[in-house]
Chains A and B, each alone.
Chain A
């Protein structure tokens, strides 16, 4: 497990998928970065692999910015820690 924060790992995953070369910030709106609906779902798969978790698709409803995505991931991770 890397020491990189959840937020920066999410930023890295988004950056890898942005079609235009541009710096991705936490406050960036994911759709404005040029990711269509399929690309966003593919991003979710990459997030699941990066953090070894399940990210149900309906939770995308909570995600507009990169920070929102990181927040949902952190929430799922915390829930899992609490459950074990």
Chain B
């Protein structure tokens, strides 16, 4: 048997791709939150999850540089050995304060935060019930858990209730949902889910990866927007999207939370974040809290691009959120569409099954507060033209802007 033979179907799928491999994108340069150079051409960045556009923020860069010079390039150790500096501790307190929770734990990525929490929050004889469209980090996390795992139909509170009522009455139950789903950009019906959670005496974890700093009056996420923070027992999130860096966290009021630091393997057996990253995230969190205008601009931009793409005749995944996904009937069209957009100076994400729910082929864009309205209007025009070229829009219509 040849090693990697089990990956043959993947090899074949890759070989079928025409044009540039959309999963091997190498930017020649990234110049700002909205501009880059790809294959020698300037491109508008419209698929980077950089919701608040803070990656080049002067304060964040300065905080990181100063920490880099003062504290070095890395901690070279685990949080429970030599890898916790003052900054890590301070950031955890700051996050807990921002989210109105007693405690928070910082992980090296959001992926690891899900792995860590889902593998250690519940034990043998307990139950985890996850949304069917959950992110890979949630799927991988529950595989590490000794609890029994079941799925409920995406965003279907009635289906969740039915599945909860089938569970044995023994053991704890943890429900896992996301704030904004990463592929289609749809929100979880969190108020209904929270009511069901309470009725069944379950616990609730919400991954606010795409909604932190995006939703809610103060940017605390979907739970804030839906007014159900008190029902959310665990908030998981990432520093790699609205906060413009890398890292993850979980915040909670649960008793005994501190014990997780000595039980959570994805927290313990990996090096902690470099102090410069911690410093930039702390500054980004300040920007997020002190500048609600960033959030307002992001929401305006999302509505603007959503309206323009809808007017052009595209079928989008959901109501306006910063994630706007165009549904494309087949992978071939999606790949051609994506390649043509790169040629026309627009970088967005191509998402194909099995990374997408229900076998959907998607061109996924994510809007930033840093986009200028004119950039989005121009992008919508180009997307509509290319959409017509690849036969996606029945009759080419003129894109309506704003």
Contacts and interface: CB of A to CB of B under 8 A. Distances in A.
A48 B150 contact: yes
Interface in B341-358: 353-354, 357
A45 B127 CA distance: 16
A38 B151 CA distance: 11
Contacts of B166: 48, 52-54
Interface string A26-43: 000000000011100110
A37 B168 CA distance: 26
B132 A54 contact: no
Contact of A54 (B150, B153, B353): B150
Contacts of B353: 36, 38
Contacts of A55: 150
Contact of A56 (B149, B152, B357, B359): B149
Nearest to A39: B359
B163 A54 contact: yes
Contacts, number: 38
B148 A45 contact: no
Given A36-B354, A38-B353, A38-B354, A56 B132 contact: no
A45 B149 contact: no
Mostly helix, strand, loop or mixed at chain A's interface?
A: helix
A58 B149 contact: yes
Nearest to B150: A54
B354 A57 contact: no
Mostly helix, strand, loop or mixed at chain B's interface?
A: mixed
B148 A58 contact: yes
A55 B168 CA distance: 12
Nearest to B162: A49
A57 B166 CA distance: 15
A21 B167 CA distance: 35
A48 B149 CA distance: 13
A55 B150 CA distance: 7
Nearest to A44: B151
Contact of B149 (A36, A37, A57): A57
B273 interface: no
Nearest to A19: B359
A41 B132 contact: yes
A53 B165 CA distance: 10
A70 B185 CA distance: 37
B279 interface: no
Closest 10 CB pairs of A and B: A56-B148, A57-B149, A54-B166, A38-B354, A36-B354, A54-B150, A56-B149, A54-B167, A45-B151, A41-B151
Interface of B: 127, 132, 142-143, 148-153, 163, 166-168, 353-354, 357, 359
Interface of A: 36-38, 41-42, 44-45, 48, 52-58
10 contacts: A41-B151, A42-B132, A45-B152, A48-B163, A48-B166, A54-B127, A54-B150, A54-B167, A57-B142, A58-B143
